[in-house]
Amino acid sequence: MAKIQDVARCAGVGLGTVSRVLNNEKGVSEETRANVLKAIEMLNYKRNSLGVSLRKNKNMIVALLVPIIDHPFFSKLAYFIEDELDKNGYSVIVSSSQSRQSKEYAMIEKLKRKDVDGIIFVTHYDYKDEELSKFPVVSIDRHFDDVPFVTSDNFDSSVKACEWLVGKGCEKIAYIGGKTLVESEVMERERAYRTVMEKHGLPVIVKSEVIKHGEEGPLVEALFEENDGLDGVFASGDAMTNMIISHCEKNNINIPEDLKVVSYDGVEMKTGELKNKIAFIAQPIEQLARESVKVLLGKINNEKVALRTQIAASFLKYED
Amino acid sequence: MAKIQDVARCAGVGLGTVSRVLNNEKGVSEETRANVLKAIEMLNYKRNSLGVSLRKNKNMIVALLVPIIDHPFFSKLAYFIEDELDKNGYSVIVSSSQSRQSKEYAMIEKLKRKDVDGIIFVTHYDYKDEELSKFPVVSIDRHFDDVPFVTSDNFDSSVKACEWLVGKGCEKIAYIGGKTLVESEVMERERAYRTVMEKHGLPVIVKSEVIKHGEEGPLVEALFEENDGLDGVFASGDAMTNMIISHCEKNNINIPEDLKVVSYDGVEMKTGELKNKIAFIAQPIEQLARESVKVLLGKINNEKVALRTQIAASFLKYED
DNA sequence: CTGAAAGCGCTTACAG
DNA sequence: CTGAAAGCGCTTACAG
């Protein structure tokens, strides 16, 4: 494999000159440039990134850490994040934490070892004492000390959703959602729900627990067991909604006649025949992705970045 | 940031000794090792991977190149590939080609520049003159010159599927699938279909064209328009199946009473109420993923690897 | 068991 | 506009 030395010798110039041509720098005479280019061609020379990385202390790689890539929300996120990073010359390492914090720590370690230049995070864990804010790290939806984060407008869109349920005549509306261990933007959904219920003097029925992916079923069952005659439910996430759908099918509850449902997310809903019968709040995934990249690159380039970047979510109701 | 030099000085030893401790090599006295460890601790030293990579000419990163990560088949694949690579100390860069060959070439370029140590490929394009087999590259399902590839047993499972349709009494069975530009294992599905039809003296009805993701609808419409009274169809891929479902819904064709359907894949089928009414051939995604990693690591480590690795697919029919 | 030196492939002041 | 040199942080023979 030819190296820069070989090119220099072949073109009869110095190392620096070859490097300048390689990097399209000014200040090289056309003649010299042509010679170098010819030598590069002749030797089929390819610049070795490992040398560049060491020299520049940067390898143009960013990590994306999600709970699991095989999930519509996260794979969409990954798609747009890669696209945005690619436009900026970066590659993305994708890692599924599988909700194991050890895997997340491993990635932080990689960051410190310069395996990656930065991390975009979707985590359920807390990172108070990791000095994470000293490194190029951006969090999506969750919020730690001084780590910049990007989030959709959970509160406002949830208020709209709950007001819609009330407007539809629901009088016994429940909120159901998984709880996160850390202070999270997701909690805004529950807060919005409570605000709206109180405003209208309606009962507050909250089913919210710390659960893992896949454990939504029992929570839904418990909700319906403990509360007869629900006529509306605001579900924080599609997994939950899918379980609600299953429950209703089994128990002959008609959606939306008997029970009106609003789902946060709407990307992985097993709608099928229920399409247009469940309202939802769409996460602005593409914007979340692109904004998180912009913030991260800002951090990497030592620019000042906003601690919080908020993007509006849209509430989509079905036709009727 | 402390470097190895600092640790050496602090521990009062040479560079090489620190390196040996870092790499858990034998031949270091317990006393020396303890001193070095203490110095590492004191200085909060982290080994910089950029130096290691340059020195070893290897950065422990592999690329996964898929048409689009936001697709159940590919994100599942990515999940298991990452898991398997992680077990072996590798990270994975995920890139969605978006069916643009330029993006695939860009990744090959990265391989040649040592940005990545190898590539696992899912492509629709051909790479005859790229000398790809000289590099650590593994292909999934597609087959080029001397590039090792991993595939599921398309022919055998397709034969089973078609025989099942015949056994169910179907007499006018069609095959419908997207065509790839390169010689591909997917073609085995059509070949299996033809074999079975001919064996039973049934008409061969093939609708197979080069199409892009999302263009399945018109092909399906054309199939039904050109062929009245189909009672069975073997669809090469879920996207196609979904379009068939739509067509049947619109035209009051009952599945499976009027039309029996077998779908290759079964991971992204919008089953809904049709669950258990469509038979399918399940791709052994996890095994494809893990095997492709094993083959790639073999290539990276200059071992002899099989050109073709085949994994059995399973044919799952619905209950009735 | 240990250290000093060479070198991985590049870029970047520096001097001219 | 150009070249020689230093150095990025590590590992690996080599010599002792």
- Sheet with B314-316, strands from edge to edge, namely B205-209, B173-178, B232-236, B260-265, B279-282, B314-316
Residue A141 structural domain: 57-150+285-310
Check residue B233 and give its pLDDT: 95
Does residue B278 form part of some domain? yes
Check residue A56 and give its pLDDT: 95
Please indicate, yes or no, whether residues A146 and A289 belong to a single structural domain of this protein: yes
Check residue A181 and give its pLDDT: 65
Judged against a pLDDT cut of 90, whether residue A287 lies above it is answered with: yes
> In chain A, whose CA is at the least distance from the CA of B48?
A113
* Separation of alpha carbons A7 and A43, rounded Å: 7
Check residue B278 and give its pLDDT: 86
B17 touches strand D (CB under 7 A): no
B28 pLDDT band, cuts 50/70/90, is confident
Judged against a pLDDT cut of 90, whether residue B20 lies above it is answered with: yes
Structure tokens of B304?
């002899």
Structure tokens of B266?
């079964």
CATH number for position B294: 3.40.50.2300
Please indicate, yes or no, whether residues A167 and A267 belong to a single structural domain of this protein: yes
- Give tens-digit pLDDT for A36-54: 999 999 999 999 999 999 9
- Give tens-digit pLDDT for A221-263: 889 999 888 999 999 887 788 888 888 878 888 888 889 999 9
Q: CB distance B92–A92 less than 8 Å?
A: no
Looking at beta carbons, which residues of chain B come within 8 Å of A114?
Answer: 48-50
Does residue B80 form part of some domain? yes
CATH number for position A39: 1.10.260.40
Q: Which residue has the higher pLDDT, A172 or B256?
A: A172
Torsions phi, psi for B245 (to 5 deg): -60, -50
- In one letter, which amino acid is A118? G
Please indicate, yes or no, whether residues B195 and B162 belong to a single structural domain of this protein: yes
Please indicate, yes or no, whether residues A122 and A75 belong to a single structural domain of this protein: yes
Judged against a pLDDT cut of 70, whether residue A278 lies above it is answered with: yes
Q: How far is the CA of B320 from the C1' of D14 (A)?
A: 75
Closest Cα in chain A, distance from residue B283 (Å): 15
Among A40, A50, A120, A283, the strongest candidate for a mutation testing the B interface, having the largest count of B CBs within 10 A, is: A50
Q: CB distance A94–B95 less than 8 Å?
A: no
- Give tens-digit pLDDT for B281-297: 988 999 999 999 999 99
Judged against a pLDDT cut of 90, whether residue B272 lies above it is answered with: no
A185 pLDDT band, cuts 50/70/90, is confident
Q: Which residue has the higher pLDDT, A270 or A9?
A: A9
Average pLDDT, stretch B114-122?
A: 96
Check residue A125 and give its pLDDT: 85
Check residue A270 and give its pLDDT: 56
Check residue B247 and give its pLDDT: 85
> In chain B, whose CA is at the least distance from the CA of A271?
B272
**Final residue of a domain: which of A12, A28, A47?**
A47
Does residue B71 form part of some domain? yes
Does residue A12 form part of some domain? yes
Does residue B248 form part of some domain? yes
Check residue A238 and give its pLDDT: 78
Check residue B318 and give its pLDDT: 75
C-alpha R_g of chain A: 26
Torsions phi, psi for A177 (to 5 deg): -165, 160
Please indicate, yes or no, whether residues A238 and A274 belong to a single structural domain of this protein: yes
Peptide bond into B203 cis (omega under 30): no
Q: Which residues contact B256 (CB under 8 A, 6 or more apart)?
A: B277, B278, B318, B320
Check residue A127 and give its pLDDT: 85
Pairing of the two strands A260-265 and A61-66: unpaired
Pairing of the two strands A118-121 and A308-311: unpaired
Closest among A96, A87, A80 to A60, alpha carbons compared: A87
Check residue B142 and give its pLDDT: 85
CA angle A249, A251, A254 (to 5 degrees): 60
Looking at beta carbons, which residues of chain A come within 8 Å of B60?
Answer: 115
Please indicate, yes or no, whether residues B185 and B82 belong to a single structural domain of this protein: no
Torsions phi, psi for B66 (to 5 deg): -125, 160
Does residue B52 form part of some domain? no
Check residue B294 and give its pLDDT: 97
Question: Cβ(A197)–Cβ(A225) under 8 Å?
Answer: no
Judged against a pLDDT cut of 60, whether residue A320 lies above it is answered with: no
B15 touches strand D (CB under 7 A): yes
Instruction: Name the average pLDDT for chain B.
Output: 89
Check residue B283 and give its pLDDT: 86
Average pLDDT, stretch A213-218?
A: 76
Looking at beta carbons, which residues of chain B come within 8 Å of A51?
Answer: 54
Q: What percentage of chain B's residues is helix, strand, coil (to nearest 5)? A: 45, 20, 40
Q: Could you give the percent of chain B with pLDDT greater than 90?
A: 59
* Separation of alpha carbons B198 and B192, rounded Å: 10
Looking at beta carbons, which residues of chain B come within 8 Å of A59?
Answer: 50, 59, 115
Exposed/middle/buried for residue B119 (C-beta within 10 Å: 0-12, 13-18, 19+)? buried
Please indicate, yes or no, whether residues B127 and B82 belong to a single structural domain of this protein: yes
Check residue B41 and give its pLDDT: 93
| 3-class DSSP string for chain A | CCCHHHHHHHHCCCHHHHHHHHCCCCCCCHHHHHHHHHHHHHHCCCCCHHHHHHHHCCCCEEEEEECCCCCHHHHHHHHHHHHHHHHCCCEEEEEECCCCHHHHHHHHHHHHCCCCCEEEECCCCCCCCCCHHHCCEEEECECCCCCCEEEECHHHHHHHHHHHHHHCCCCCEEEEEECCCCCECCHHHHHHHHHHHHHCCCCCEEEEECCCCCCHHHHHHHHHHHCCCCCEEEEECHHHHHHHHHHHHHCCCCCCCCCEEEEEECCCCCCHHHCCCCEEEECCHHHHHHHHHHHHHHHHCCCCCCCEEEECCEEECCCC
Closest among B310, B278, B268, B273 to B75, alpha carbons compared: B268
Query: For residue A304, how far is the Cα from the chain centroid?
Result: 21
Does residue B160 form part of some domain? yes
Please indicate, yes or no, whether residues A134 and A226 belong to a single structural domain of this protein: no
Please indicate, yes or no, whether residues B159 and B276 belong to a single structural domain of this protein: yes
Structure tokens of B75?
């994100």
* Separation of alpha carbons B242 and B260, rounded Å: 14
Check residue B238 and give its pLDDT: 78
For B262, the 3-state DSSP assignment is strand
CA dihedral B239, B240, B245, B250 (to 10 degrees): 110
Looking at beta carbons, which residues of chain A come within 8 Å of B69?
Answer: 69, 75, 78-79, 82, 94
Please indicate, yes or no, whether residues B94 and B177 belong to a single structural domain of this protein: no
The number of distinct structural domains making up chain A is: 3
Query: For residue B192, how far is the Cα from the chain centroid?
Result: 22
Asked which of A87-91, A266-270, B149-153 is least confident by mean pLDDT, the reply is A266-270
CB pairs under 8 A between A and B: 120
- What residues does A49 pair with on adjacent strands? none
Please indicate, yes or no, whether residues B253 and B275 belong to a single structural domain of this protein: yes
Check residue B320 and give its pLDDT: 57
Q: How far is the CA of A50 from the C1' of C11 (A)?
A: 12
Q: How far is the CA of B153 from the C1' of C7 (A)?
A: 49
Does residue A271 form part of some domain? yes
Please indicate, yes or no, whether residues A188 and A278 belong to a single structural domain of this protein: yes
Strand C, nucleotides < 7 Å from a protein CB: these are 1-14
- Strands annotated E in chain B: 61-66, 91-96, 118-121, 137-140, 149-152, 173-178, 205-209, 232-236, 260-265, 279-282, 308-311, 314-316
Residue that the structure tokens 């080994």 belong to: B47
Q: CB distance B50–A71 less than 8 Å?
A: no
Closest Cα in chain B, distance from residue A181 (Å): 25
Question: Cβ(A142)–Cβ(A124) under 8 Å?
Answer: yes
Structure tokens of A89?
């010359």
Q: CB distance A69–B82 less than 8 Å?
A: yes
* Separation of alpha carbons A117 and A90, rounded Å: 9
- Strands annotated E in B116-178: 118-121, 137-140, 149-152, 173-178
- In one letter, which amino acid is B31? E
Question: Cβ(B85)–Cβ(B117) under 8 Å?
Answer: no
